[in-house]
Structure 1
């Protein structure tokens, strides 16, 4: 059975957009906490707690990946919102983002 036209379940897609935005915000907060932890661990390593330096190194290694995922989730959220808005306007160019 062929379907003519394009269909989008707007509330579901808007909900996806909201969830990606929330994930982005949460991961951004995680990065801030990791930065603070890393700074504290580096300071304690400076005064002699060498194990803290290893943990700080691990945090500093993982943090860029979390920042990247947070950024990508924010971008996906914006893309989904723009796509829904374009769909509601009947704008075919708005769909080009996902081709």
Structure 2
């Protein structure tokens, strides 16, 4: 009995969908941040040094948000692949997470 694996497939699919949605949302956040950074740099060019500092800060955190977005999309794909393997009874594909 200990060798059996059970999975609530609809719940895992919902988790995968949630991660994909988060990843897509973070990609949108990155695009908005790029626009804000460009606007702040333009304002800084006109003499507002504080705007440039904010632009630099946003530019520093943007790569971290990109990594998080990529990981969420990757995890979504991994979860869906694992569920597919589980449904086929494929033990090799089901071992993705351990």
The TM tier, using the shorter chain, reads over 0.9
Equivalent in the alignment of 1:44: 43
Calculate the aligned-residue CA RMSD, in Å: 1.0
Gaps of 5+ in 2: none
Q: For each residue in 1:8-67, what CA deviation from the matched residue of structure 2 results, as whole angstroms up to 9, or x when unmatched?
A: 110110000000000000111001000110011011111112111011011001111111
TM-score normalized by the length of structure 1: 0.94
Q: How many residues are treated as equivalent by the alignment?
A: 98
Equivalent in the alignment of 2:33: 34
Hey, what's the Cα distance between the residues in 1 that align with 2:25 and 2:51? 25
Which contiguous aligned blocks of 4+ residues in structure 1 show a shift greater than 2 angstroms? none
Gaps of 5+ in 1: none
